[in-house]
Structure 1
Amino acid sequence: MTNCIFCKIISGNEPAHIIYSDDEMIVFTNIKPAATYHFLVATRNHIENINSLNSSHIPLVERMARNGKRAIEQSGGI
C-alpha cells in the first residue's frame, strides 16, 4: 500500500522510534503522543482496517496486544 503510513514505516521509508520488532509486527511510539506511553502496533502484512479482520487473525491480534503491553512494561509503564 503506497499511501499507508504504517506500511511506509515498516518498509523504512518513514522514520519511527521502534520499540519492538519481529517478523509479524512492529511497536513504535506515536509521533504526537496523547499519553506518556502512547505506542502503536502495526502488522507487517497490511490489513486494511478492523473490518478486514476475521477469526484467522485472532492469534495475531492476541500477540499484538501482548507485545504492546510488554513494550509499555519495558518502558516503565503499568
Structure 2
Amino acid sequence: MTHDPNCIFCKIVAGQIPSKKVFEDEDLIVFHDIHPWAPVHILIVPKAHIVSHAELTEEHQALAGKMMVLAPRLMKELGVTGGFRTVINTGRDGGQEVMHLHMHVMGGPRPWSKG
C-alpha cells in the first residue's frame, strides 16, 4: 500500500493524527470532517495514497465502488434520512485541498441551499 509521509490523511490512516472515526476496514477509513458544512459531514478516505480522483484506474474499480456503496450505509447509520450530498474535489482547480483522494458525504439541513 502506498503512503506519503507528508500527507495529513496518510498520517490519520497511520494513527499519527487523531480523528473522530466512523468506520474502518482494510481499504478505507471514514471520519468526521473537522470543518463540517452540514450537521453530518464525513470523509471517506482510501488507506492507499491515491492523489486524486483523476488518478483512479481500472485497478481501483472495486475501491471506488466500495466508497460509493459505503456512503448511503453510513449516512443511514448516522441518522440521515432526508438525503445527502457526495462531493469529490479533484485537483487544485477542482477545489481539492488535501492531495489524497477523499469523498465528502454531507447530510442534514443544507446550509449551501438558497432558500
Q: TM-score, normalised by structure 2?
A: 0.64
| Structure 1 or 2: more helix by fraction | 1
Identity percentage of aligned residues: 33
SS at match of 1:59: helix
Structure 1's consecutive aligned runs of 4 or more residues displaced over 2 angstroms after TM superposition are none
Q: Tell me how far apart the structure 2 counterparts of residues 18 and 7 of structure 1 sit (CA, whole Å).
A: 14
Asked if 1:52 corresponds to 2:48, the answer is no
For the aligned residue pairs, the C-alpha RMSD in angstroms reads 1.0
**TM-score, structure 1 normalization:** 0.91
Q: Which residue of 2 aligns with 1:15?
A: 18
Return the alpha-carbon distance in structure 2 between the equivalents of residues 64 and 18 of structure 1. 15
Q: CA deviation at 1:54?
A: 0.8
Equivalent-residue separation in structure 2 for 1:69 and 1:29 (angstroms): 15
1:62 aligns with 2:65: yes
Q: Tell me the matched-pair count.
A: 78
Q: Is the 8 A contact 1:39 1:68 kept in 2?
A: no
Unaligned 5+ segments in structure 2 are: 82-115
Shift of 1:73: 0.8
Structure 1, gaps ≥5 residues long:
none
Q: Which structure has the larger Rg? A: 2
